[in-house]
């Protein structure tokens, strides 16, 4: 039995050598640069340039309508002797600390609650997100009405409905009530972000860990302490860092409700920088106040970096 073989095929033309332009665009380094260049351009125009200009202006006496000259540390020396600036530093740290604790306490409790089996769970999650979705200024206007000394719904309930008070509550008329009123508004707005983020972390924890703990007789507190909390630490670090940054740099909520009053007692560094730089016209001084926020933000970023090192421990590796 004979076997026939197919005849060999021969190319009649040899493949052309690619030109220098083709080789250039086939280079991996060139492709990486070409893909990243638009992103670097946008970051340079909208982030790096404004940041660099703001830092430069902090060392000048620039005002609105005048470029100004280099004055070195003169703006910072003035701020260190300004009681309003130190009041803003104190309230910024106090506001951030108390609001962050409140948001994480209530947000973690809400996340644990939403992680349980319950009817209409998806609808409840969507409703909980509403405070985070609503524009900040709209939320601020709502709280401004709630805190109004004449038309406050809280005063109406306490005075006209329950009869517990004879006069309306002046939430924004004095220093500490105004400060705590702003903290309550910030906590209300920030709870959904914390709750949904931690809920996503809770759903990544294997149920087998809880089943094994139940077989060993672990209580609910022991399951939370030795399983839930350690497994949530990486997400807790990320969410806490973003929460601290968002709270410390808050502007819209505070400015829309109090404008920094009464008597500059509720100024954050962001609102004080705006007041000095734009309405006050002292752009150099406002920029110096904004630059003074950088050490706090760097600290929050470093906190996130070192906290995330625990992820290696959770994966069975040693920390560097």
CATH code of the domain in which 262 resides: 1.10.3720.10
Answer yes or no: is 242 within a domain.
Answer: yes
Answer yes or no: is 141 within a domain.
Answer: yes
Residue ranges making up the domain that contains 207: 83-275+293-314
Q: Torsions phi, psi of 79, nearest 5? A: -65, -35
Answer yes or no: is 320 within a domain.
Answer: no
- pLDDT, mean of residues 27-34: 80
Report how far residue 131's alpha carbon sits from residue 188's, in angstroms, rounded to the nearest whole number: 7
Report how far residue 94's alpha carbon sits from residue 102's, in angstroms, rounded to the nearest whole number: 12
Token reading at 259 = 């404008």
Token reading at 7 = 């005849």
Answer yes or no: is 96 within a domain.
Answer: yes
Answer yes or no: is 280 within a domain.
Answer: no
312 has pLDDT over 70: no
pLDDT at 125: 80
Answer yes or no: is 163 within a domain.
Answer: yes
- pLDDT, mean of residues 8-26: 65
pLDDT at 186: 94
Answer yes or no: is 132 within a domain.
Answer: yes
Report how far residue 221's alpha carbon sits from residue 207's, in angstroms, rounded to the nearest whole number: 16
Quickly list H helices, 115-228: 121-128, 130-133, 136-146, 153-156, 175-202, 207-215, 220-223
Model confidence at 177, pLDDT cuts 50, 70, 90, reads very high
Please tell me the total count of domains within the chain. Answer: 1
pLDDT at 7: 55
**Residue of higher predicted confidence among 83 and 125:** 83
Answer yes or no: is 36 within a domain.
Answer: no
């Amino acid at each position: 039995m004979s076997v026939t073989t197919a005849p060999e095929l021969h190319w009649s033309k040899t493949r052309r050598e690619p030109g220098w332009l083709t080789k250039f665009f086939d280079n991996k380094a060139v492709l990486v640069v070409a893909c990243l260049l638009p992103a670097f351009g946008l970051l340079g125009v909208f982030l790096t340039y404004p940041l660099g200009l703001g830092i430069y202006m902090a060392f000048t006496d620039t005002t609105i309508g005048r470029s100004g000259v280099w004055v070195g540390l003169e703006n910072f020396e003035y701020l260190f002797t300004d009681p309003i600036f130190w009041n803003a530093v104190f309230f910024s740290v106090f506001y951030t600390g108390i609001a962050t604790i409140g948001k994480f306490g209530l947000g973690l409790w809400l996340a644990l609650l939403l992680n349980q089996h319950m009817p209409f769970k998806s609808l409840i999650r969507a409703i909980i997100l509403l405070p985070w979705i609503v524009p900040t200024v709209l939320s601020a206007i709502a709280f401004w009405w709630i805190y109004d000394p004449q038309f406050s719904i809280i005063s109406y309930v306490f005075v006209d409905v329950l009869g517990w008070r004879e006069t309306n509550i002046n939430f924004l008329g004095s220093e500490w009530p105004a400060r705590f009123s702003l903290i309550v508004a910030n906590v209300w707005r920030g709870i959904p972000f914390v709750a949904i983020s931690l809920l996503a972390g809770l759903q990544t924890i294997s149920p087998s860990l809880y089943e094994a703990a139940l077989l060993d007789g672990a209580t609910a507190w022991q399951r939370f302490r030795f399983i839930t909390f350690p497994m949530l630490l990486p997400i807790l670090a990320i969410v806490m860092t973003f929460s601290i940054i968002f709270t410390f740099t808050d502007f819209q909520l505070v400015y829309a409700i109090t404008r920094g009053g009464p008597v500059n007692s509720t100024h954050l560094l962001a609102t004080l920088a705006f007041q000095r730089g734009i309405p006050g016209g002292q752009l150099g001084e406002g920029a110096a106040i904004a630059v003074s926020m950088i050490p706090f933000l760097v600290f929050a970023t470093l906190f996130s970096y070192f906290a995330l090192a625990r992820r290696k421990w959770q994966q069975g590796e040693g920390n560097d």
